[in-house]
Structure 1
C-alpha cells in the first residue's frame, strides 16, 4: 500500500497491528516524515526513512517553523517531544510595518500565549526528531525517482543508488514527488503566488537597519498585494521572503 501524508495521517494509524511484521518505508525526511517515523517506531513498527539530503548536517533551506498548539504541537506530544520543542523554540512577536518601513503596530508574546506557536529552526527540528529515532532509521543521499511492484512488495528506485524493498510506502517528500502519481491522478496546480526567499548572514553587520527594524521580532509588511516577511533569528541568519502574485507576462513558470 502507498499513503500520501496529510495533517490527519496520524489518526489513520490507531490500529498499529495492521503494520506488524511489515517493512515500512517513508520517502522524505522532513518534519512530517520524521514525525511519522517516530510515531510508528515507538509502536514497534519496522520503519526506514529515505532522504535525499546527503547527511543529517545538510542545511535545510527555508524559514523557521512555528508549530501550533492544535496541530504540530499535538504531533510532538504524541511522540514525547513537546517539552524538547519548547526548550529549543523561540517565542516571537510580530512588528507590522508600512511600505516605507515605519512600524505601525507590534504584537508581542505574553506569558499566557508564548508557547502557542514558538519558532524553531528547521535543522534544530530535524536534529530533535532524529535524536529520538534508532541510529539506522534514516538512509541518507537517497533521491527517490520511482516505484514498481515486485512479488507483492514495492521496489523503490533511487538516483544512482541501490534499490530497496518495502511492504508499505508513506510518501512525504512534497507535492513534486516522483511518487505522486501512485497516490493521485491530480496534477500539481499552480497557485499563482510566488515566494522569493533569501538569507542574510550576520544581519547585525550586513543589514543593520533592517535588523534593527525587526527589533527581535518577526517583521511583516504588505503593499499593493505584495507581502514581505522576515525573521532575524534563523540560526545566525536573517531570513526573508517576498510574496507576490505572478505577473501576467510570466507565461511559463518553469522557464523563469
Structure 2
C-alpha cells in the first residue's frame, strides 16, 4: 500500500535527539504520510455499500497484521521528540501535532477491523441466503408435501420472514398466510381456485397452523432476530 522509512531508537546508542534534525524531520514525516495514506485507503472499510468497500476492507485486514509495530515505534519517537532542544523549531511542532492525531485515528481504525470483517462476512451470508431461498423452499415442499395435495388440507411445509419483517407461511395446496410487520395474519388464496375448491377452505385452520409453526423453524436472513407474530417453539409442532 505504501512505504516509509523509520527507525526504532529504543536502546540505540545514538538517541533520537542526537539525530540530524532535517533527516529526522523527513523520517517522521514519512511515517505520518504512511498513516495518512492508510486512513484514506481504508475509509470505506466499514461501509459495505461503499464503492471501494472490498478493496478498503482488504487493506485494513492486511494492516491489522503489519501496522501495529509501526504505530508503537512512531509513538515512542514522537514522545522522545518532546525532549529534544529542536522540538519547537522548523516543522517539528506540526510534525508532532499531526503525528499524534494520525496515531490516534490509526489505532481507532485498526480497532474497527474485527467488526468490519464480521460485517462483511454477515453480508455475504445474507446474500447467499437470498440466492438460495427458492431452493430451500422447493426442498421443504418435496419433503413435507404429497405429490398431489388437495385444496383445503391445510398442510404447512415452509415459512419465511423477509428482511422487511413480512412473514409468509406456505401450504402444500398453494395457499399462503401472510403477516406484514405490525399487522394481523391474513389468508391468501390463489386466483385459480374453483368455487368448489374455495368451499373446502377453512380459513381458521390455516391461521391456526401458521400461529403454531415453530418460530425457530422460520427461514430468516442471517443476523435477524425472531420477530413478532410467531408462536414460541415450545408451544408448536410442525403440521404434516
Q: TM-score, normalised by structure 2?
A: 0.19
Q: Which structure: greater helix fraction?
A: 2
Please identify which structure carries the higher strand content.
1
Report which of the two structures shows the higher radius of gyration computed on alpha carbons: 2
Per the normalisation by structure 1, the TM-score is 0.18
Structure with more contact order per residue of length (Cα contacts < 8 Å, sep ≥ 6): 1
